[in-house]
């Protein structure tokens, strides 16, 4: 039975959405913690013809990251996400014109696939006159998590800021958590990608109980540290579950993390890597710390960190972005 709504009205003319970069895990928060960062892809779409019973046409243009590498047809991830959104809203996919202005590097651990999925879902919703009623943010998040397979990146891409997410009995959840004023991040982006599939394949099926217990303590501490105790970030970002196991796939990233952490910097592998993320904060050196020297080690300046960017890599100092995907 045809469940589509032939009476739906599409928005006239082009519509644009922007979606932030995201960093998942943040050290110990494997597959559950995510942070939106102020670096955004922009997607612009336009309905060029409503569905008429024939296969929908798509025109895809990609500029910036991924240009020349990603497909320019219905297999493009944004188009696939848009198709899922139209289906979820009870609509047949119209013929579309899509322009992707990409700044998020692909396969580097900054949530490019989540940005494509969330951006595509939000763009499809924005192209429907009553799209927000048909697909609210909670439904959009759930659909994005199903498409991505896990919620840690899509949660901050939808809701912004710092999120704690997971699933229970097939139902996904995401809860926002505060970030102290002045906390930001420097990301070091290598020139070579590492696929999420390769990174996941290196993880063991089980870990020692002591490692799991130690990691749980760090996750709890990390939520507190980001909210109000940034000087605790170096200790809170210690990971026991995944980074060491993945080091062979990204040796230069692993070495940079080790070097930065040895100097008291809260450095981690961003997502599945190989990007390295280092937290920056401006907490008062005399507030909640054993000594001003401890705080200075923990809260290294962005300028000093940027100067440690390896040759051939790119580095960015990024604010935590309180916004998720938005219509421009």
Buried b vs exposed e over 99-137: b needs ≥16 C-beta within 10 Å? bbbbbbbebbbbbbbbbbbbbbbbbbbbbbeebeebbee
- In angstroms, the CA 91 to CA 190 distance is 41
Q: How do beta strands 184-189 and 58-64 pair?
A: unpaired
323 is in an annotated binding site: no
Q: Write down the mean pLDDT value for the chain.
A: 92
CB neighbour list of residue 1: distance below 8 Å, 6 or more residues apart: none
pTM to 2 decimals?
0.91
- In angstroms, the CA 115 to CA 22 distance is 8
Model confidence pLDDT, tens digit, residues 138-171: 999 999 999 999 999 999 999 999 999 999 988 9
Provide the pLDDT for residue 286: 39
Domain range summary for the chain, segments of one domain joined by +: 15-177+323-327, 184-319
Provide the pLDDT for residue 1: 32
Model confidence pLDDT, tens digit, residues 45-79: 999 998 887 888 999 999 999 999 999 999 999 99
75 is in an annotated binding site: no
Provide the pLDDT for residue 195: 85
- In angstroms, the CA 93 to CA 86 distance is 6
174 is in an annotated binding site: no
Provide the pLDDT for residue 298: 43
308 is in an annotated binding site: no
Query: CA distances (Å), 259 to each of 6, 102, 116, 234, 264, in order?
Result: 59, 31, 33, 13, 9
Residue 292 pLDDT grade (very low, low, confident, very high; cuts 50, 70, 90): very low
Residue 271 pLDDT grade (very low, low, confident, very high; cuts 50, 70, 90): very high
Q: What proportion of the chain, given as a percentage, has pLDDT over 90?
A: 85
112 is in an annotated binding site: yes
- In angstroms, the CA 317 to CA 309 distance is 11
- In angstroms, the CA 186 to CA 153 distance is 18
Q: Which two tokens stand for residue 92?
A: 């047949």
114 is in an annotated binding site: yes
Residue 6 pLDDT grade (very low, low, confident, very high; cuts 50, 70, 90): low
248 is in an annotated binding site: no
Q: Kindly report the CATH class assigned to 15-177+323-327.
A: alpha beta
Q: Kindly report the CATH class assigned to 184-319.
A: alpha beta
Q: Which of 320, 221, 234, 231 is nearest to 284 (CA)?
A: 231
27 is in an annotated binding site: no
Give the other-Cβ count within 10 Å of 75's Cβ. 11
Burial of 227 (0-12, 13-18, 19+ CB in 10 A): middle
Provide the pLDDT for residue 196: 82
113 is in an annotated binding site: yes
């Amino acid at each position: 039975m045809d469940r589509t709504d032939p009476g739906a009205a599409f928005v006239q003319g082009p519509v644009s959405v922007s979606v932030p970069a995201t960093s998942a895990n943040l050290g110990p928060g494997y597959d559950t913690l995510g942070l939106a960062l102020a670096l955004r892809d922009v997607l612009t779409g336009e309905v060029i013809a409503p569905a008429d019973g024939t296969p929908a046409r798509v025109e895809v243009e990609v500029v910036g990251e991924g240009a020349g590498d990603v497909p320019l047809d219905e297999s493009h991830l944004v188009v696939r996400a848009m198709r899922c959104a139209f289906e979820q809203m009870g609509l047949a996919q119209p013929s579309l014109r899509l322009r992707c202005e990409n700044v998020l590097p692909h396969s580097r651990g900054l949530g490019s696939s989540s940005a494509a999925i969330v951006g595509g879902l939000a763009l499809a919703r924005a192209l429907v006159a009553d799209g927000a009623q048909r697909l609210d943010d909670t439904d959009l998040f759930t659909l994005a998590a199903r498409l991505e397979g896990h919620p840690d990146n899509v949660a901050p891409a939808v809701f912004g800021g710092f999120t704690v997410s997971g699933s229970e009995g097939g139902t996904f959840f995401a809860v926002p958590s505060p970030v102290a004023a002045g906390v930001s991040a420097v990301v070091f982006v290598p020139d070579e990608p590492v696929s999420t599939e390769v990174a996941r394949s290196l993880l063991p099926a089980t870990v020692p109980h002591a490692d799991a217990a130690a990691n749980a303590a760090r996750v709890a501490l990390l939520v507190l540290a980001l909210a109000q105790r940034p000087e605790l970030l170096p200790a809170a970002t210690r990971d026991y579950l995944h980074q060491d196991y993945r080091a062979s796939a990204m040796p230069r990233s692993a070495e940079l993390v080790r070097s930065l952490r040895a100097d008291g910097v809260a450095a981690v592998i961003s997502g599945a890597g190989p990007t390295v993320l280092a937290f920056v904060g401006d907490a008062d050196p005399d507030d909640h710390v054993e000594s001003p020297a401890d705080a200075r080690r923990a809260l290294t300046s962005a300028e000093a960190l940027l100067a440690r960017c390896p040759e051939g890599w790119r580095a960015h100092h990024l604010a935590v972005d309180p916004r998720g995907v938005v219509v421009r």
